Amino acid sequence: MRSVEANRTGEYGVHWKFSNSAFFRNGEVGDWKQHITAEMAQRIDGIMDGSPIVVVFCNLLKNPQKHLVK
């Protein structure tokens, strides 16, 4: 999606304008540190601890073939 010119240029918003490029990040491991503080990361960890979303995602990582739709 990043390569599509319409996604990289232009603006979004009514009251405040944001560049469309603001919605993209590098997508590299650890890149989140460029976007949120350590305190924010701790809060997210506290919210997600024991969450069924995390459990499903971890199971998917352990055995991705089991979850493929054929």
- Do 2 and 13 fall within a single domain? yes
- Do 40 and 23 fall within a single domain? no
- Do 9 and 20 fall within a single domain? yes
- Do 41 and 69 fall within a single domain? yes
Task: Name the 3-class secondary structure at 19.
Answer: strand
- Start-to-end Cα distance in the chain: 26
Per the structure, the count of domains in the chain is 2
User: What is the domain range of residue 21?
Assistant: 1-33
| pLDDT score at 20 | 64
Environment class of 58 (CB within 10 Å of its CB; exposed 0-12, middle 13-18, buried 19+): exposed
- Do 44 and 66 fall within a single domain? yes
| pLDDT score at 39 | 93
More confident residue, 34 or 55: 34
| pLDDT score at 35 | 78
| pLDDT score at 45 | 84
Q: What is the pLDDT of residues 7-50, one digit of tens each?
A: 556 655 666 666 666 666 667 777 778 878 999 989 988 887 87
- Do 26 and 46 fall within a single domain? no
